Amino acid sequence: MDVFDPASAALVAGGTLAATALRCGPAELRVTARALAGLLRRPFDPVRIRQRLSGQIGEIDRDGLLRAQAHSFDDGEFDCATQALIRSRSIDILFAEHDRFCRSRTGDAMAATDVLHGAADLAPVLGLAGTLLSLGSLTGAVAGGSSYADAIAMAVTTTLYGLVLAHFILMPLAAAIARRSAREEAERQALVDWLARAVRRSGSHGEPRSLDNAA
């Protein structure tokens, strides 16, 4: 039996993809594709963002929120959050912006893991379908002069490919997305809390007392 059978692999992988697309729809597939592509990019770097935020905090501490200018941190959340903080001079807005981005990111991560879990459930089913097709072709194989061994080999490989695709590819990818999402959210929350504490400390420099409401 060949370890790699292109026909069996195409049947299982293609069938799993088609069944997953029909079950989930194009929008969730796009979210999953973005999440998978994100695994190839560098993870969120809290040290780099904290270093850049330190300059913003120094400016706020020196000039106050009324005169501070928002900087770019090459990060969508902290760009929007610091702009909203300086514009509104309210720590509540900082947390609100963080919560908004957090809900979007975690929602996308959960959608992607759900799609991958669903695909992992379907892969063994497609492997079994390939097995049944192969076994059903045994009579035709004999009539056409082919051996039983060829049909049995395809039956075994489709089952194997379904299990491998589910438990060695799809499930690990789902777990990797969930781990990265959880780690990033914890790191972002720590940065937001640190930024809020730093801004509260600068509130003694003539800033509005609303800065202390979230203390």
| Cα dihedral 193/197/198/200 (nearest 10) | 140
pLDDT in tens, 49-60: 999 999 999 988
pLDDT digits (tens, 9 = 90+) for 107-155: 999 999 999 999 999 999 999 998 888 777 666 555 554 566 766 777 7
- Span 148-203, pLDDT tens digits: 676 677 778 899 999 999 999 999 999 999 999 999 999 999 999 999 999 888 76
Query: What residue spans define the domains of the chain?
Result: 6-202
> Residue 213's pLDDT is what?
45
pLDDT digits (tens, 9 = 90+) for 8-49: 899 999 999 999 999 999 999 999 999 999 999 999 999 999
Q: Pull the structure tokens for residue 147.
A: 């051996």
* pLDDT value at 88 more than 50: yes
| pTM for the full predicted model | 0.85
Is 91 within 8 Å of 194 (Cβ atoms)? no
Look at 97 and 68; give whichever has higher pLDDT.
Answer: 97
In sequence order, the 6+-apart residues with CB closer than 8 A to the CB of 60 are: 68, 86, 198, 199, 202
Q: CB-side exposure of 189: number of CA atoms within 13 Å? A: 11
Q: Assign 62 a pLDDT band (cuts: 50, 70, 90).
A: confident
